[in-house]
Chain A
Amino acid sequence: MNKNEKDAILSGRERNVILSARDVEVQFSLRGDRLTAIRGCSLDLYEGETLAIVGESGSGKSVFTKTFLGMLDANGSVTGGSILFEGEDISRFKTEKEWKRIRGGKISMVMQDPMTSLNPLKRIGVQVEESIRLHQGLSGAEAKREAIRMLDIVGIPDPERRYHQYPHEFSGGMRQRVVIAIAVACRPRILICDEPTTALDVTIQAQILDLIRRLQEQFSMTIIYITHDLGVVANVADRVAVMYAGQIVEIGTAEDVFYNAWHPYSWALLSALPQLGIKGKKLPTIDGTPPNLFNKITGDAFAPRNRRAMAIDFKVDPPFFEVSETHKAKTWLLDPRSPKVEQPASIRQLSERMNQDYGSGLKHPHQDPNRVPVITVKDLQVTFGSGRKKFVAVDKVNFEIYKGETFALVGESGSGKTTIGRAITRINPATEGEILFKGERISGKISKEVDQKVIRGIQMIFQDPLASLNERAKVEYIVSEGVRNLKMCKNSAEREELVQNALREVGLLPEFASRFPHEFSGGQRQRIGIARALIMKPEFIVADEPISALDVSIRAQVLNLLNELKGTYGLTYLFIAHDLSVVRFISDRIAVIYKGKIVELAEAEELFRHPLHPYTRALLSAIPNPDPAIERSKKLLVYDPAQHDYSEDKPVWTEILPDHFVYGNKQELNQYRGML
């Protein structure tokens, strides 16, 4: 299908509906209670398009698509509506025999986690072959040949040898390619991709997205792409459906939704993106949490969180209003009777705002002669295990973090960024080198006094708001833990006050102190985690991917809070992240780390403007932008570590410009200088 055909479809001239869902309602029974996960969803899928369904966790986007395959969990069922596919209402299917006609050959799926979606005990080739045997009617050597061809198509090098290997011998990205090969080998008409890149690193994600796009063309598939990441949506989608609380609230072409959204929820989602934020200013946020689907919902489910809610939003579920032929939104704002509202400025300006320079008004820390280092890391090396199993996680790393700045450490999973953070907080011991806190050595053996100082002075915020709070303890205990351990207050009344203050500080109600963590949303939990660190009155905070596990709408809250606290208390942050786009919004300086080595370190804007190291450049090229226009035209750079020849010319850590460090050998450095 070429671009013209696609445009034709999108413009509505040749709308060939391949699947049509009407008023689908899905309920789950959980210990006697009924949860309505999908509350009357309707959708038409056009042949050949890529439809992205975007929504936060719990919005029902996965469940909805699972009904197309009859893959709901045993306690769930379609309780209403219909799904028409090839002339049949597949929502009425009961038996496995019926579903077998659909599954694989007609509709197939790629799941989120490549690490678990392959049978660990079967060879890769055999698993691909299984699809081929079932759906292409091939067998024996033919099937094998086809399987190898599929592996080749999805970009697995040396497929003949790889055919015989087991999943654990593959990296995550490679596994996801295999999963895609399995799904595509069924030759489906529709391929559902359920967050296929969420578990992968940014650079890999970009490659997989490319692959899916290529396969769609090659095999003429229709694709439903489920994701929470608007950048990915912008990259892949022809059309976008936004889901909230079990309903589609807005649907339209990518341009419609990105440039001309009408549902307040879509607005909120888009404007909360850090990429669209202005450095030093607050990001617009969405407060609160999605509704509890166990309860009956009246009116617009988003109303309580909607800053422009009308009375009717709380009373009557809005119908769909047509914005254009391709664009509909489910909000009373479009009702002619409602007062005229304008889209928020950030939405309107999306296309102009993207990729702008953050301007020259920003401070340049290196120009500040009075800056004092809070943390100094010298030749830090951290190794795990010993002997044969020895693994160097951090390899001779040097940097300084100055008072009052936000220092970001960016790298993919396994790069050692978290280990550095944990070395500073003394969770992981430094094997070699040293770490200084305000000039005092805090690595290796230290006195109890210094230890207490470190505990008070350096605190940490963790990535996973689920895992980082003790679920069996009340918020009061969690927040006051450090105070208790260091006996920082005289009595329980004093402690209570400290806790309440800390909670207020992070924007939580003091009454939350008596509750348990699982009652809170991810954002609230993360704020509890911040309160816990804050109560110690630290000077330095290691924030280990504090927002990467959060939904888009909540990220903004946390980022705002971090920025706010920094202002109030003069905090210094080490902000660890894998996502450069977030980092750009929040940090003053950025270090890029690759496999235990920091390859480049510079001021944020400097880094974006003059990325030198090829890895930095690859990383930058892979950042998904929430702008369809940019995403569709972007060019992906691939980093291959083999490009460095360090056999003779040894690399060094060099300050190539003031405060711009890069790792490279003489030849490379010369080359980099040429690029400046």
Chain B
Amino acid sequence: MKSKQRALAEGQEQDAVILRYSTEELEAVTGASEAELFSFVEYQPEEAERVGHSEYSYWKSVWKSFLKKKSAVVMLIIFLTVFVFSFIAISPLCTKYSHYSELKSSRSNKFATPDSEYWFGADNIGRDYWYQVWYATRHSVMLAAIVGVGEVLVGVVMGLLWGYVRKLDRIFTEIYNIIYSVPTIIYMTLIALMIGKTFLVMCVSLIAFNWIYTAKSIRNLVFMYRDREYNLASRCLGAKLGTILTKNILPYLISVVILRMALSIPQTIGYETTLAYLGLLDVKEPALGLLLRNSREHFINYPHLLIFPAAIVSLITVTFYLAGNAFSDAADPRNHV
């Protein structure tokens, strides 16, 4: 109809374009007779009400808007590929070893550069580096994931309380100051000395010293949402604190929570490397941090020992960070159309 309109828009006058349609034209366009066209239609108020609705599901929309961001999808695919591949790479498909303990040193192969047998070369005592790197990848990603999830869980619960219960503000602020103003390394060292440094202890202590940052950002958000009218409404309707926190506030924090997760994985792997450097890491099984630390002894002469784990670490952290960021954007309903 538009082109038609344009074509007819010749008798221009001021203020508005005044068009004239002849009956023939109208009938041609609409396929209805003049009488039909110019008769009143029964008014349907329900139809009016219905206008503009669509089927909406929160998570579907999250996915939809996430999938729209092609680069983020690519990042997620890379991340997942790397993670899944860390399982495949140490499966019989790619390697002859079935367990880490089967890796054997070999004096003739030490510092071997990558070749068809040793895809990532061999380390300083001649062990296959491919297997080690992928094994470590899996290990580190799991650690990071556990810490990330744990940190976010604790952080969210505490953050909600911190933000909503005014009496607790002082205490939490003090805790924040205590954790924030003393380098985490002190705590980590003390814990390693006094308790140990098993995988479990690592997870728990990393969570113990990082949740506060999540909690802090959650708290700031809760401050934003706390006095929104819908919370007042819930209070008028007799909602308990727990209900308000879980039903009214928590759902709004999803995107922030995801963002924290996205940040915490690179952060955890970063911590891992620092802890390995300080000797605060369990050495039973290789972690990426451990490989990176070990490679520091040799990387000047044998760069492949640094490059492979570094590349994979970077790949994981960067892709997860980007994908996480995009997902966090997508989780924000303001970005749903």
Contacts and interface: CB of A to CB of B under 8 A. Distances in A.
Contact of A459 (B14, B18, B32, B236): B236
Contacts of B16: 42-43, 248, 251, 320, 328, 330
Contacts of A11: none
Contacts of A529: 233
A39 to B, nearest CB: 9
Interface in A224-281: 248, 251
A641 B229 CA distance: 32
A10 B236 CA distance: 54
B230 A468 contact: yes
Contacts of A460: 232-233, 236
A292 B337 CA distance: 11
A482 interface: yes
Contacts of A459: 236-237
Contacts, number: 195
A309 B37 CA distance: 10
Given A486-B238, A509-B49, A311 B233 contact: no
B47 interface: yes
Nearest to A338: B38
B200 to A, nearest CB: 35
Contact of B230 (A23, A337, A470): A470
B20 A339 contact: no
Given A305-B48, A311-B41, A481-B237, A316 B30 contact: yes
Contact of A519 (B23, B47, B54, B229): B54
Given A455-B237, A482-B238, A521-B52, A339 B14 contact: no
A518 B50 CA distance: 14
Nearest to B252: A472
A338 B235 CA distance: 55
Nearest to A247: B16
A588 to B, nearest CB: 24
B314 interface: no
B29 A315 contact: yes
A67 interface: no
Interface in B160-184: none
A322 B20 CA distance: 11
Interface in A330-362: 330, 332, 335, 337-339
Given A44-B15, A328-B16, A31 B43 contact: no
Interface in A431-464: 451-452, 455, 458-460, 462-464
A477 interface: yes
A305 B41 CA distance: 11
A614 interface: no
A515 B333 CA distance: 14
Interface string A283-313: 0000111111010001000001111111111
Interface string B121-158: 00000000000000000000000000000000000000
B96 interface: no
A422 interface: yes
A403 interface: no
Contact of B18 (A328, A462, A463, A518): A328
B68 interface: yes
B40 A309 contact: yes
A292 B50 CA distance: 12
B37 A42 contact: no
Interface stretch (B107-115, B243-251, B256-264, B273-281): B243-251
Nearest to B32: A311
Nearest to A461: B233
Output the residue of B17, B38, B251 with the most chain A CB within 10 A: B38
A470 B26 CA distance: 47
Nearest to A33: B337
A22 B52 contact: no
A462 B40 contact: no
B239 A519 contact: no
A493 interface: no
Given A422-B232, A427-B232, A519-B54, A470 B248 contact: yes
Given A31-B337, A473-B247, A519-B54, A288 B49 contact: yes
Contact of A485 (B45, B52, B228, B238): B238
A339 B46 CA distance: 25
Contact of B39 (A42, A315, A339, A518): A339
A287 B45 contact: yes
Output the residue of B15, B40, B46, B52 with the most chain A CB within 10 A: B15
- Interface size band for B: 35 or more
B295 interface: no
B297 interface: no
A32 interface: yes
Contacts of A338: 38
Interface string A473-512: 1000100011001100000000000000000000011000
Contact of B15 (A251, A316, A469, A471): A251
A319 B45 contact: no
B14 A317 contact: no
Contact of A304 (B39, B51, B235): B51
A321 B23 CA distance: 16
Contacts of B47: 288, 304
Contacts of A515: 53, 56
B9 A316 contact: no
A653 interface: no
A206 B229 CA distance: 29
A335 B26 CA distance: 12
A42 B56 contact: no
B65 interface: yes
A468 B32 CA distance: 47
B99 interface: no
Interface string B1-17: 10001000100101111
A121 interface: no
A642 to B, nearest CB: 33
Interface string B204-244: 00000000000000000000000011101111111110010
Contact of B32 (A20, A315, A469): A315
Given A304-B47, A319-B21, A472 B58 contact: yes
- Which 9 pairs between the two chains have the least Cβ-Cβ distance? A288-B48, A319-B19, A472-B251, A482-B237, A312-B37, A468-B229, A287-B48, A455-B238, A485-B238
Interface of A: 15, 17, 20, 22-23, 30-33, 40, 42-44, 248, 251, 287-292, 294, 298, 304-317, 319-322, 328, 330, 332, 335, 337-339, 422, 425-427, 451-452, 455, 458-460, 462-464, 467-473, 477, 481-482, 485-486, 508-509, 515-516, 518-519, 521, 524, 529, 532-533, 536
11 contacts: A30-B337, A289-B51, A292-B51, A315-B30, A451-B238, A462-B232, A464-B229, A468-B230, A516-B56, A524-B49, A536-B237
Given A455-B238, A462-B232, A468-B233, 9 more contacts: A287-B45, A289-B48, A309-B41, A315-B30, A315-B32, A316-B21, A422-B232, A459-B236, A518-B333
